[in-house]
Structure 1
């Protein structure tokens, strides 16, 4: 049974995990570390963690399960640092939004005799802004939590027990788990997560140029404008690593959208426009 968890990265997701675990009845210890000390202190004041660690490596060394809740490139850096530190009776997992490079690193650094297990994970939950202060115990309720490269940890009985217990804790926070191939994961999230974000970013940037000097016009757009541009508030720091580590899949999705928009532009007065609306309605009716 898991009794000691280290959360490395107490931003929105890391803090929400701590709060979610406590709300679900987890009674073990939760230690947190954050690159910016203020974020860790905020998580501590909210009850998401029991103590603030000064060093991420030492925090992980004393934990049964360590959750990497930092952007993708810092995740890869921590994986390198922890590979020779953690043992076969420990589990490392993450919340990274792309899984290709993380899974490759996991296969190279972990899941071999004498080393810790690594289970790549990705909760499909979040907000347009980050930060510990936005942590939410219910953030993962009703969300899907994806796991990739699952077969690797099955080779170790010690790792299997930790993975089973961690997955049960994820479910206890209200999530539904799905196992998926890493490459399929990155292809899928490019369509359902990354494309909406970059579309909202482009639209928001365009509108800032078009009506940014007339802020009263933002009210004219009403709910439609607010919903379409909500993700435009997402900071670059949250999406830089995603764009860099899933470039090909995102490019494919963006190109398809560009072509679709061109098709609509060329058929504003034709029957094809009705067909586009019907296709869109069909997608929405099934969601």
Structure 2
């Protein structure tokens, strides 16, 4: 086993779930966590996601084989800058961020060289509308897609960092994930459409309903399952989505504009055959989705 010591910086939902998944699938090494909120790290330890709690993140990272960055994107950008000078070519940094272009640009020139630590950017397409280690689940990644967006300079990684990257990818496969490799720019455009846009749509709808009806207890029973499903993501934390919006702005703005235009088209054709065409096209997309 090449990986014996794993550090998780950020022990919220995804970081803690990764720790639990490692244990669930047989990882025997040490998993130590750090979080800016001590109570969150304590919860992660209590649920079995980490074995120990570190009080200093940099010291923890320096003593680890693999460092998993699991905080908001802007925080991860800061960690990439801070860790580059103190880590060596025998170590690997990976992440679980929803935006990859900004992280890859931050890492360029500081990681993946022969004498530099490795950086393997990753993104599990899994989560919940609620965060925190208390909601962590070792089965969260089962049947999910885990995307890696290795930059071109990854070919120059040291042999030690490359071995760590290959082993980490192996653990992700053990989680039950389907592993995909993708260009970071393509990743950010794709996620703007299939992940970030649905979040913004649910947030807008939930906010609009709150404005129109306030906290009307009669609304939810009337809306039923359709309302619950459409507004589920409206419970997502701003702290995470703020960073995504700031680091994938152009792609998200493009998808939002396209949606605005589509909604305007629907509004203008409520009494024309165009409405039928929209429903038929939507049905074809939905029927093409894999059944779970």
Q: Flag the 1:213–1:53 CA change in 2: closer, same or farther, 3 A.
A: closer
Alignment correspondent of 1:87: 88
Report the Cα offset of residue 215 of structure 1: 2.2
Off by >4 Å, runs of 4+ in structure 1: none
Partner of 1:51: 52
* TM value normalised by structure 2: 0.96
**Contact 1:153/1:159, CA 8 A, preserved across alignment:** no
Shift of residue 100, structure 1, vs aligned partner:
1.1
Residue segments in structure 2 that go unaligned for 5+ positions in a row: none
Give the 5 Å matches for 1:213-232.
213-232=215-234
Distance 2:127 2:216 in 1: 31
Greater Cα shift, 150-159 or 32-41: 150-159
Q: 2: CA distance between counterparts of 1:159 and 1:66?
A: 12
> Contact 1:72–1:98 (CA<8 Å) still a contact in 2?
yes
CA contact (8 A) 2:73 2:240 kept: no
CA separation in 2, counterparts of 1:239 and 1:213?
23
Query: How many Å separate the matches in 2 of 1:254 and 1:25?
Result: 42
Which deviates more from structure 2 when the two are superposed, residues 245-254 or residues 151-160? 151-160
Structure-2 residue corresponding to 1:125:
126
Q: Report how far residue 210 of structure 1 moved.
A: 1.1
Are positions 1:146 and 2:147 aligned together? yes
The equivalent residue for 1:11 is: 12
Unaligned ranges ≥5, structure 1: none
In the TM superposition, 1:164-175 aligns within 5 A as 164-175=166-177
Cα distance in 1 for residues equivalent to 2:125 and 2:202: 18
Distance (Å, rounded) in 2 between the aligned partners of 1:121 and 1:22: 20
Matches within 5 A, 1:52-201: 52-155=53-156, 156-201=158-203
| TM-score, normalising length: structure 1 | 0.98
Give the 3-state SS of the residue equivalent to 1:215 in structure 2: coil
**CA offsets, 1:40-69, max 9 Å, x none?**
000111111110000111111111000000
CA distance in 2, matches of 1:4, 1:91: 11
